[in-house]
Amino acid sequence: MPASQAGRRRFKSGRPLFLTLDSGLLCASQSVQLAGKKPRGRITPTVLFVQLAVVRSTLVPGPVIPTASLAKRQNKQVVLTTTRSSLHRIAFRDRHSHMPIHSTAIIDPQAEVDPSVDVGPYVVIDGTVRIGQGTRILAHAVLTGWTDIGEDNEIHMGAVIGHTPQDFTYKGEQSFLKIGHRNIIREQSQIHRGAKAGSATIIGDDNYLMQHAHIAHNCTIGNHTIIAGGALLAGYVHVEDRAFISGNCVVHQFVRIGTLALLRGLSRTSRDVPPFCIMDGTHTVRGLNAIGLRRAGFSRERISTLKQAFSTLFRTRGNIRNKVEQLQAASPSEDVGYLLDFIHNSERGVCFGPKTASNGKEEG
């Protein structure tokens, strides 16, 4: 049904609304009315700011459908947000439409930039960089080298992506940086490409790198990780899915960080960090990341089984290899087996428990 013929639906202020469209452009005269006032002209695939009086409610024509269904059916999205202020935004975005490239941005002719990529002021894209659709690159970011960036990423102000590794052995060989989808890379973060010919630094999907995070050459970052402000990861660090590295943590080269591990702020490690643990100080395991496990959907039974294994491994000092063999002989659960395999395969050794006996309270 054309938008002009659809029934109107009341929309309360402060809530987003998703509408279907019949054409590539949204005609203000037939599709949107805000407090009885119409924006002039046509709303193009950019952001239009409309000056209005304070709005308590808005009448918007057209059926309301879920975002996922909208993306699947038309691959177009209109977001209308009203707030109790005099400035209101109407944002229309077509994933295949041409997004703006600021006139001050410098883009190498060799770069492959999807037409839907939003490039902000003073951005530099140098070399054979490839950028997938829906990605936003904010002011003063620098993307360089043999860098491949997926879809729907956000790269914030001053980030340096794909620059030469900080490694004396690097002599200009072709090496790579590969970034997946839906990552958020905040202000002044740095991600360097590989240090050896043909090697790569790899970032997965749905990761959040906060301001001044540093990912050195040849690191491998999984999915859904959080690397907080000022965290420093040296070369060849491997971070498994859903790990959380807090602010200003320092991770030595070649260290592995297990899934759902949590490194507390200002901690440092030159040893592998076991899955599911909380680590602080100098590579010291403080307990099980119980809250993180619950948020990840672990049942009480799974968490309880892991707590028992952690008690055996880290509550008292002793030979960790002997403890691993003891638990392996008891037919461990899948989670405990994963933990034991991680420890068994460690080349640097894993973090140890506290020097003094713990009171056994749950942490996380």
Over range 123-145, report the average pLDDT: 98
Phi and psi dihedrals of 85, rounded to 5?
Answer: -145, 175
Residue 79 pLDDT grade (very low, low, confident, very high; cuts 50, 70, 90)? very low
Phi and psi dihedrals of 110, rounded to 5?
Answer: -75, -15
* Tokens found for residue 51: 């000056």
Residue 50, pLDDT > 70, answer: no
Task: Report yes or no: 55 and 1 within 8 Å, Cβ to Cβ.
Answer: no
The confidence score (pLDDT) of residue 48 equals 31
Residue 201, pLDDT > 60, answer: yes
Task: Report yes or no: 317 and 303 within 8 Å, Cβ to Cβ.
Answer: no
Over range 10-21, report the average pLDDT: 37
| CB neighbour list of residue 223: distance below 8 Å, 6 or more residues apart | 180, 204, 205, 206, 207, 241, 242
Residue 275 amino acid letter:
P
Residue 248, pLDDT > 80, answer: yes
Residue 86 pLDDT grade (very low, low, confident, very high; cuts 50, 70, 90)? very low
Look over the chain and give the mean of its residue pLDDT values, rounded to a whole number: 79
Whole-number Cα distances in Å, 175 to 109, 147, 155, 237: 20, 9, 21, 17
Bridge partners for 227 per DSSP: 209, 245
The confidence score (pLDDT) of residue 17 equals 36
Q: What are 288-315's pLDDT values in tens digits?
A: 999 999 999 999 999 999 999 999 999 9
Task: Report yes or no: 147 and 124 within 8 Å, Cβ to Cβ.
Answer: no
The confidence score (pLDDT) of residue 4 equals 37
pTM of the predicted model as reported, rounded to 2 decimal places: 0.74
Residue 356 pLDDT grade (very low, low, confident, very high; cuts 50, 70, 90)? low
Angle at 205 between CA 248 and CA 272, to 5 degrees: 45
Residue 35, pLDDT > 60, answer: no
For residues 188 and 248, give the distance between their C-alpha atoms in angstroms, rounded to a whole number.
14
Question: For residues 72, 73, 79 and 80, what is the CA-based torsion angle, rounded to 10 degrees?
Answer: -150
The confidence score (pLDDT) of residue 167 equals 97
Domains detected in the chain: 3-94 (no CATH), 106-239 (2.160.10.10)
Bridge partners for 125 per DSSP: 107, 143
The confidence score (pLDDT) of residue 11 equals 35
Tell me the range of 10-24, 31-45, 228-242 where mean pLDDT is highest.
228-242
Residue 80 pLDDT grade (very low, low, confident, very high; cuts 50, 70, 90)? very low
Convert the chain into a string of H (helix), E (strand) and C (coil): CCHHHCCEEEEECCCCEEECCCCCCEEHHHHCCECCECCCCEECCCEEEEECCCCCEEEEECCECCHHHHHHHCCEEEEEECCCCCEEEEEEEECCCCCCECCCCEECCCCEECCCCEECCCCEEECCCEECCCCEECCCCEEECEEEECCCCEECCCCEEEECCCCCCCCCCCCEEEECCCCEECCCCEEECCCCCCCEEEECCCCEECCCCEECCCCEECCCCEECCCCEECCCCEECCCCEECCCCEECCCCEECCCCEECCCCEECCEECCCEEEECECEEEEECHHHHHHCCCCHHHHHHHHHHHHHHHCCCCCHHHHHHHHHCCCCCHHHHHHHHHHHCCCCCECECCCCCCCCCCCC
The confidence score (pLDDT) of residue 24 equals 31
The confidence score (pLDDT) of residue 10 equals 39
Q: What are 149-198's pLDDT values in tens digits?
A: 999 999 999 999 999 999 999 999 999 999 999 999 999 999 999 999 99
The confidence score (pLDDT) of residue 97 equals 59
Over range 270-285, report the average pLDDT: 98
Token pair 């060849």 is found at 236
Sign of the C-alpha dihedral, residues 37, 41, 42, 48?
negative
Bridge partners for 257 per DSSP: 239, 273
The confidence score (pLDDT) of residue 67 equals 34
Residue 355 pLDDT grade (very low, low, confident, very high; cuts 50, 70, 90)? confident
The confidence score (pLDDT) of residue 81 equals 37
Residue 56, pLDDT > 80, answer: no
| Structural Rg of the chain based on CA atoms | 25
Q: Which residue has the higher pLDDT, 122 or 72?
A: 122
Pairing of β 106-107 and β 124-126: parallel
The confidence score (pLDDT) of residue 318 equals 87
